[in-house]
Amino acid sequence: MQTIEERFAPIQAGLPDLWRRIQDPKVPRLVIAVPSLSLDLEGLPLPGGLLHFEERMLYLFHLLGQPASRLWFYSSHLIPEEEIAYYLHFLRHVPFSHGRNRLRLQPLLDRENLPLTEKMLRRPALLERLRRQIQQSPNAYLTVYRSTELEMRLAVELGVPILGTDPRHQKLSAKARARKLFESLGLAVPPGRVNLHNLDDLAAALVSMQESGAITVDQPKVVVKQNDGVSGLGNRNLGLMPFWNLLVSEHMLPDEKHARLGQALRRHWGDLEGKAFWPLFEVTVMGVHQELLDKQGRYRGALFPAPDPLASATVARARKVGEELARQGVQGRVEVDFLVTRDEVYALDVNFRKSNSTTSLRTLNLLAGGAYNEQENRYVDGSGKEKFVYSSDWLEVGEQAYSLHDVIDLATEEGLNYSTASHTGVVFHMLGGVSSTRRLGVTCVGEDMEEAHHLYAESERALGVRLEAVPASANY
């Protein structure tokens, strides 16, 4: 009997030919969007309204700008029709009604805290209906937030490839494996330890790092990263001063020190058994996007393009990683994260998924067309004008913005909405959850970063929000 990997291999092998065919916008295609947050959610400090993160992939509506494309968008919850109309309004070159007729929304009406893909796999009748439609649809494929074994199983059930990285390569993107890859390429990595599975392992690593001089009284903190996390949800800051006397004590044998420190960590954090951790000093991530993080190291937004000093320091290194992954057979979207200090550029993570900053970039594709120029570190829209983005996933709204309608009304009254004439303005996302989560995302597009940041500030003022995150070294 064939394994799931053996059944998947010939299906995914057809991806290069499919990709070449659909470069012609007149070629029909069926895009099956499954924005599933497929990762181990156990033990993660989940924010409220996590299901509404699925709405971040509504930027895929730009595919409806090609008259031969159809999009089936699956979600755990019902996305309001007003939100759908809001995004379809930004379509270029096709009438609203034409785009809407080629869009099919597929809510499962299931708010259980499970990955969307797993929910679909539990519904054999749904899969059978979808298979029948695929048989009548040339050039069908899956597009997903993250390619894992769940998405591989779904692809096999449907008999279509995944337009993205092969789930069989997912192990290369785990924090520990990525660190090993960076070291093999001669890239600097932050001081740290990997392959830690519990708090006793973490205690031993902290003692080792203090003895080696990587942890000092002037830098008494680390960031503990879950090996397989997303949006910083698996990160925890750990200040070491409460444990400092124990950590530097010379009056205990190593085993006793490890045991006592492990007990102290349990009292501080509770039990975190069964996870893999990677401690490091800082959690500010720099790349072509400059990411904005809050004090807990969670993603809150991004600047695009990143200021030139950051882009020039990282692009060549990212390309080196990409070339090595391609040599190992990896295809699809890959994100490489870096930490840039005054003295060094550290490689941090490799992510095989649609990253957090994907939303702002793909939203810009939907709005203005165009492309990013790697050599010049510029995004030029379809009319030849340069564009800049200040985006956030975490605008906390005030009392005057209790609903999707309130947000759109306020943005209209304040003149913030994106204009298809100037190709500047603000686009909101995760609108469907604003009533329950009291927050939403924004993509602010300007003709320079100063204008993009001003649009964000005006959105914050109009909607009554407070944002904790600020860029470490943004240049406006």
CA angle 106, 108, 113 (to 5 degrees): 135
Let me know if residue 329 belongs to a domain: yes
Burial class (CB in 10 A: 0-12, 13-18, 19+), 464: middle
Residue 320's nearest CA partner among 227, 183, 193, 192 is 183
Q: What is the structure's pLDDT at 230?
A: 54
Let me know if residue 285 belongs to a domain: no
Residues 275, 299 share a domain: no
Please identify, among 226, 247, 280, the residue that sits at the C-terminal boundary of a domain. Answer: 280
Let me know if residue 375 belongs to a domain: yes
Cα 151 to Cα 160: distance, rounded to the nearest angstrom: 11
- Considering the entire predicted model, what is its pTM? 0.71
Residues 271, 347 share a domain: no
Interval 406-413 mean pLDDT: 91
From 202-211, 219-228, 274-283, 339-348, the region with the lowest mean pLDDT: 274-283
Output the domain CATH number for residue 252: 3.30.1490
Let me know if residue 365 belongs to a domain: yes
Name the pLDDT band for 273 (thresholds 50, 70, 90): very low
From 149-153, 222-226, 317-321, 405-409, the region with the lowest mean pLDDT: 222-226
**45 pLDDT more than 60:** no
Name the pLDDT band for 475 (thresholds 50, 70, 90): very low
Residues 396, 274 share a domain: no
Number of structural domains the chain divides into: 3
Residues 459, 317 share a domain: yes
Residue 155's nearest CA partner among 18, 41, 308, 324 is 18
Question: In a 3-state reduction of DSSP, which class is residue 441?
Answer: strand
Please identify, among 280, 309, 335, the residue that sits at the C-terminal boundary of a domain. Answer: 280
Let me know if residue 185 belongs to a domain: no
Interval 291-297 mean pLDDT: 76
pLDDT digits (tens, 9 = 90+) for 67-121: 999 999 999 999 999 999 998 988 878 889 999 999 999 999 998 888 999 999 9
Output the domain CATH number for residue 323: 3.30.470.20
Residues 202, 77 share a domain: no
Q: For residue 458, give its domain range.
A: 290-463
Please report, as a single letter, which amino acid is at residue 17: D
Percent of the chain with pLDDT over 70: 87
Residues 370, 221 share a domain: no
- If you average pLDDT over every residue of the chain, what do you get? 81
Decide which of 338 and 268 is more confident. Answer: 338
Decide which of 450 and 380 is more confident. Answer: 450
Let me know if residue 472 belongs to a domain: no
Q: What is the structure's pLDDT at 30?
A: 96
Residues 91, 205 share a domain: no
Q: What is the structure's pLDDT at 439?
A: 82
Measured CA distances, 403 to 116, 461, 466 (Å): 25, 17, 17
Let me know if residue 474 belongs to a domain: no
Q: What is the structure's pLDDT at 280?
A: 30
Residues 125, 199 share a domain: no
Residue 114's nearest CA partner among 84, 148, 80 is 148
Q: What is the structure's pLDDT at 271?
A: 44
Interval 412-422 mean pLDDT: 89
pLDDT digits (tens, 9 = 90+) for 170-205: 777 667 778 888 888 898 888 878 777 777 788 788
Residues 333, 382 share a domain: yes
Residues 362, 380 share a domain: yes
Please identify, among 122, 147, 164, the residue that sits at the C-terminal boundary of a domain. Answer: 164
Q: What is the structure's pLDDT at 104?
A: 96
**404 pLDDT more than 80:** yes
Cα 25 to Cα 143: distance, rounded to the nearest angstrom: 17
Q: What is the structure's pLDDT at 23?
A: 87
In what helix (H) or strand (E) does residue 304 lie, and over which residues does it extend? strand 299-304
Residues 212, 110 share a domain: no
Residues 275, 300 share a domain: no
Q: What is the structure's pLDDT at 269?
A: 60
Helix axes 254-269, 199-211, angle to 10 degrees: 120
Let me know if residue 176 belongs to a domain: no
pLDDT digits (tens, 9 = 90+) for 318-343: 888 887 877 777 777 778 888 888 88
